[in-house]
């Protein structure tokens, strides 16, 4: 074993690190169990399949965190009244 302390800054980073370690261990186990001459093919297939899943989950977790952060910053207490209904008049000030 090669002991190492890994420090993460938030739960999302912890999830990504745990998933990466699990994937590396699974690839190692697959390589050890593969028949001679089939190691690369089996580990490569696993890396492609699990790699896509790993990236999808990581991306989803990061984007969910970012969205929650934005929602917390923009959320305000109370209700905001809607504007009165009716057509929007062109006052001619916009040259477009």
Q: What is the pLDDT of residue 68?
A: 86
Whether the pTM exceeds 0.75: the reply is no
Average pLDDT of the chain, as a whole number: 86
pLDDT at residue 42 above 70? yes
Give the span between the Cα atoms of 66 and 87, in whole angstroms: 36
Give the span between the Cα atoms of 73 and 17, in whole angstroms: 27
Whether the CB-CB separation of 27 and 47 falls below 8 Å is answered with yes
pLDDT more than 70, % of the chain: 77
Q: What is the pLDDT of residue 82?
A: 65
Give the span between the Cα atoms of 52 and 65, in whole angstroms: 20
């Amino acid at each position: 074993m090669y002991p190492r302390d890994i420090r993460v800054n938030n739960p999302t980073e912890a999830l990504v690190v745990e998933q990466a370690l699990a994937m590396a261990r699974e690839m190692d186990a697959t390589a050890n169990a593969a028949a001679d001459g089939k190691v690369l093919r089996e580990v490569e297939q696993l890396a492609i399949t699990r790699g896509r899943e790993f990236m999808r989950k990581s991306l989803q977790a990061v984007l969910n965190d970012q969205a929650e952060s934005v929602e917390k910053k923009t959320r305000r207490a109370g209700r905001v009244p809607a504007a009165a209904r009716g057509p929007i008049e062109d006052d001619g000030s916009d040259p477009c």
